[in-house]
Amino acid sequence: MTPSERDFFNYRYTRGIVREVSTEIVGALAENNTAAEISLERARHEHERYIQVLGDLGIETVVLPADPNLPDGVFVEDTAVILPGLAVITNPGASTRQGEVDSVEAALSTFIKTRRLGGGGTLDGGDVLRIGNKYFIGISQRTNIEGAEELRGILMERGLTAEFIEFTGALHLKTLVTPLSPDTIIGAGDVLNHPAITKLSGLKIIVVPKSEAPAANVLVINGRVLVPGGFPETLGRISAAGFEVVEINNFEFMKADGGLTCRSVLW
């Protein structure tokens, strides 16, 4: 493994892509139709702070312009999956989101080789969970077997493995479970009992209380854990486990089913 691969698999990054919040974010997809309640001003404010924290953590960030035709465009995570030396551009499962990929690909291609999923399957980056250098692909409302198989093929070409985790009850796999380090995850719900997870030896699991389910989506960057604001019990559990936490508000994006990981692509 090269030093830069080792950094990547330890969640150490130097670059990122984000997108400004669309003026039409109230039209974003949301299971419970709560996107209409989003305050554009507050969402912009929350996202500015997010971008600022990425910078404070040493990430050089490309900020793509907002697009009124892409209400969900701020959730860039779903459009690309970064592997060492390659950015896989996805085919998002929601047809209204497929227009997001071109601009992300153009931005990524100035830094890293890109390759599109072209096999006709669908896949959202939010369904791709990486624990250290092991990949888990959620089979969801957005990611189908064909999309997952194509990504697994690309991973296998590079000597990496992927297991599929079929689940219901949440938008993306990473809505339910995210990594804190190569040997620690945080999560909520049945997915933690999936054999692909339980068979990982030495894996530590922090369980999110039911009342704080959205806090299962945290974002680890360069030794810090970004935790969504408003979930004190989870915040306490993460710090008690020895992680340095940074609280970042995500209240507006939660109304469109978005977590902290959704708002950036990092490598």
36-44, 146-154, 194-202, 252-260 -> range binding ligand CIR (CB under 6 A): 252-260
Subset of 175-194 contacting ligand CIR (CB under 6 A): 175
Enter the tokens of residue 120. Answer: 């006709």
CA distance 8 to 266: 9
**Candidate list 16, 21, 64, 78; residue touching ligand CIR; CB under 6 A:** 78
CA distance 246 to 61: 18
Per the listing, tokens 């992927």 go with 162
Select 26 or 29, whichever has its Cβ closest to ligand CIR.
29
Determine contact, residues 69/99, Cβ cutoff 8 Å.
yes
CA distance 77 to 265: 5
Determine contact, residues 229/249, Cβ cutoff 8 Å.
yes
Say whether 228 sits in a helix, a strand or coil.
Answer: strand
> Quick check: 147 binds ligand CIR (CB under 6 A)?
no
> Quick check: 256 binds ligand CIR (CB under 6 A)?
yes
CA distance 57 to 115: 28
Short-list 151, 145, 111, CA closest to 4: 111
- State the minimum distance, in angstroms, from the CB of residue 182 to ligand CIR: 21
80-88, 112-120, 172-180, 228-236 -> range binding ligand CIR (CB under 6 A): 172-180
**Candidate list 75, 164, 243, 267; residue touching ligand CIR; CB under 6 A:** 75
**Length of the chain in terms of residues written:** 267
Q: Which of 45, 47, 194, 262 is catalytic?
A: 262
Determine contact, residues 13/60, Cβ cutoff 8 Å.
no
CA distance 216 to 9: 20
The continuous run of DSSP H or E covering 131 comes out as strand 128-131
Select 1 or 216, whichever has its Cβ closest to ligand CIR.
216
DSSP state of 171: S
> Quick check: 77 binds ligand CIR (CB under 6 A)?
yes
Clarify whether 172 is annotated catalytic. yes
> Quick check: 28 binds ligand CIR (CB under 6 A)?
yes
> Quick check: 241 binds ligand CIR (CB under 6 A)?
no
- State the minimum distance, in angstroms, from the CB of residue 93 to ligand CIR: 8
- State the minimum distance, in angstroms, from the CB of residue 28 to ligand CIR: 5
- State the minimum distance, in angstroms, from the CB of residue 242 to ligand CIR: 27
15-23, 37-45, 47-55, 255-263 -> range binding ligand CIR (CB under 6 A): 255-263
Active-site residues, by number, are 172, 262
Site residues, ligand CIR (CB under 6 A): 28-30, 72, 75, 77-78, 94, 97, 126, 171-172, 174-175, 256-259, 261-262
